[in-house]
Amino acid sequence: MKNITRTVWILSLISLFTDAASEMLYPIMPIYLKSIGFSILLIGVLEGFVEATAGLSKGYFGKLSDSSGKRVPFVRIGYALSAISKPLLAIFVYPLWVFMARTIDRLGKGIRTGARDAILSDEATPATKGKIFGFHRSMDTLGAVIGPAIALLYLYYHPGEYKVLFLLAFLPGLLAVVASFYLKDKDSKPAEVIKAVSFFSFLGYWKSSPATYRQLVVGLLAFALFNSSDVFLLLKAKQIGLDDTAVIGVYIFYNFVYALFALPLGILADKIGLKRIFAFGLCLFSIVYFGMSFSTNIYAVAGMFFLYGLYAAATEGVSKAWISNISDKKDTATAIGTYTGFQSICAMLSSSMAGFIWFKYGSNAIFLISGFAAVLIMLYFMVFIKAVGPKSA
């Protein structure tokens, strides 16, 4: 396709393979952890810890990538660590070892995210950022369709055999690592002598970043604070009456819609403005969350997950394309890494708050609060974030 370079194709295939491996395990991870003795509390502590690890490391390694002038080594190491972590989860069942394996997986994500997105940004122009990031998200999410589908099929014939599934997940992860060796760094040198980068040095970027970057990221992070884990949507679907197979089915359906629309919505964002498409996504999010609080049948749930797929397609890739357009090229990995790092922390806090609210006030309270918050944040974007040409539109 026009504007989709060889490098973008390779990165997108790598993401497809990796997401197929990760999402193959996503629906059964809590069940597996409980089967080897993890309590709900310990599962929560584990997931919170590894997400915080990934979040903080995204900013650091993004800054390190910009300082070194290198991208590909971070991509290779990041995807390799994620691939290695899959069989480790099957081999080691003691809590400390499971913590280590999950940390390795999330650390891999932290290492690669900023550098990978910087490569995607370099392969696009300001007028094609939506398309490039949309294509990558589409391929990445296609892996999230393939992975759970394989898991569902495997467990249908081999119920309860979770360890084998962890070993199988290593295969697409290995394909991702092999594909990463077809990437090459462009000939580029850092503008100045490389200095030591401390772990929290990326925080300094906030002060030196453009005002438009700070305004945008404030809005994005405010939304992240009310955008809890998709697990709560799946739990709500189960509460409404879907069985386990149907829950996994609607999750696959959501990812299919996301994969199908990420590219066309990215192309549309390039034409009519990134801000308009992102605001449209927030509008869909609020409809879904209001709808889930009132839905009472499986057909309504299916409709909500269709709209939720459209929301994800309109926001995930678009937000990164937007950030890359308003940040200096030499700081792209730092800018995206800083945002995604803070986003991970906000997501952890959001899910923690959602769990507490569900326990204290019931499930509907979560969805109503998040729905109202999305409306207010959408108004913030429409009123306070200016659209000036392709760089911020």
pLDDT per residue over 370-390, tens digit each?
999 999 999 999 888 865 444
Output the average pLDDT for the chain: 85
Task: Give residue 199's pLDDT.
Answer: 63
Q: Give the C-alpha separation, 291 to 122, whole Å.
A: 39
Q: Give the C-alpha separation, 198 to 184, whole Å.
A: 27
Computed on alpha carbons and rounded to an integer, the radius of gyration of the chain in Å comes to 20
Contacts 24+ apart (CB under 8 A), 71-74: 71/115, 71/116, 71/118, 71/119, 71/185, 71/333, 72/115, 72/119, 72/180, 72/183, 72/184, 72/185, 73/185, 74/111, 74/112, 74/114, 74/115, 74/116
Does residue 259 or residue 195 have the better pLDDT?
Answer: 259
Task: Give residue 191's pLDDT.
Answer: 47
Q: Give the C-alpha separation, 321 to 341, whole Å.
A: 16
Task: Give residue 286's pLDDT.
Answer: 96
Query: Nearest CA to 63 among 260, 339, 379, 372?
Result: 339
Q: Reply yes or no on whether the pLDDT at 133 is more than 50.
A: yes
Region of poorest pLDDT, from 42-51, 84-93, 168-177, 278-287: 42-51
Helix%, strand%, coil% for the chain, nearest 5? 80, 0, 20
Q: Reply yes or no on whether the pLDDT at 147 is more than 80.
A: yes
What proportion of the chain, given as a percentage, has pLDDT over 70? 91
Task: Give residue 193's pLDDT.
Answer: 46
232 contacts 358 by C-beta, under 8 angstroms: yes
What proportion of the chain, given as a percentage, has pLDDT over 90? 41
Q: Which helix (H) or strand (E) holds 134?
A: helix 129-157
Q: Give the C-alpha separation, 322 to 133, whole Å.
A: 10
Distance of CA 365 to the CA centre of its chain: 25
pLDDT confidence of 201, banded at 50, 70, 90?
Answer: low
Convert the pLDDT of each residue in 7-30 to its tens digit. Answer: 999 999 999 999 999 888 876 776
pLDDT confidence of 142, banded at 50, 70, 90?
Answer: very high
Does residue 244 or residue 62 have the better pLDDT?
Answer: 62
Superfamily of domain 6-181+205-391: MFS general substrate transporter like domains (1.20.1250.20)
pTM of the shown model: 0.83
Q: Give the C-alpha separation, 147 to 143, whole Å.
A: 6
Rounded to an integer, the average pLDDT of 127-145 is 92
Q: Give the C-alpha separation, 153 to 163, whole Å.
A: 15
55 contacts 341 by C-beta, under 8 angstroms: yes
Task: Give residue 95's pLDDT.
Answer: 75
Tally of CB atoms within 10 A around 234: 20
